[in-house]
Amino acid sequence: MNAKPLLEMQPAEAALLAAACIAVMGVTMIGFGWAPHVSIILVLCALLALGRLKGLAFADMQRGMAGGVMSGIGAIYLFFFIGLLVSALMMSGAIPTLMYYGLGAIAPGLFYVSAFVLTSVVGIAIGSSLTTCATLGVAFMGMGQALGAQPAIVAGAVVSGAFFGDKMSPLSDTTAIAASIVGIDLFEHIRNMSYTTVPAWLLTALLLWLLPAQVGEGGLAGVQLFQQQLAASGLISGWALLPFVALVALALRRVSTIYAISITIAVALLITYASGGPTLGELGGFFFKGYHPPEGLELGDVGRLLSRGGIESMFFTQTIVILALSLGGLLNALGVLPALLAGISHMLTTAGRATFSVAATSLGVNVLIGEQYLSLLLAGHTFKPVYERLGLHPRNIARTVEDAGTVINPLVPWGVCGVFISHALGVPVLDYLPWATFCWLCLLLTLAFGFSGRTISRV
- Domain ranges for the chain, please list them: 11-73+316-452, 74-314
215: confidence class by pLDDT, cuts 50, 70, 90: low
What's the confidence (pLDDT) of residue 300? 67
DSSP 8-class letter at 134: I
SS3 at position 62: helix
What's the confidence (pLDDT) of residue 218? 47
For the stretch 374-422, pLDDT in tens is: 678 677 766 777 788 888 898 999 999 999 998 999 999 888 899 889 9
pLDDT for 60 beyond 80: yes
For the stretch 25-45, pLDDT in tens is: 778 876 787 887 898 899 999
* Helix intervals (H) in 106-218: 111-126, 129-132, 138-147, 151-168, 173-182, 186-209
Burial letters for 294-332: b for 16+ Cβ neighbours within 10 Å, e otherwise?
eeeeebeebbebbebbbbebbebbbbbbbbbbbbbbbbb
Backbone angles phi, psi at 92, to 5 degrees: -80, -15
Is-contact 201 442, C-beta < 8 A? no
217: confidence class by pLDDT, cuts 50, 70, 90: very low
What's the confidence (pLDDT) of residue 314? 82
For the stretch 94-135, pLDDT in tens is: 888 887 887 676 766 788 998 898 888 878 867 788 888 987
For the stretch 319-357, pLDDT in tens is: 877 887 788 889 889 998 788 777 776 777 788 888 998
Transcribe 321-336 into DSSP letters. HHHHHHHHHHHHHTTH
What's the confidence (pLDDT) of residue 142? 80
- Select from 422, 370, 414 the least CA-distant residue to 134: 422
59: confidence class by pLDDT, cuts 50, 70, 90: very high
Alpha-carbon distances of 344 from 222, 339, 383, 408, rounded to whole Å: 56, 9, 10, 21
Query: Which of 57-71, 195-209, 344-358 is predicted most confidently?
Result: 195-209
Burial letters for 260-273: b for 16+ Cβ neighbours within 10 Å, e otherwise?
bbbbbbebbbebbe
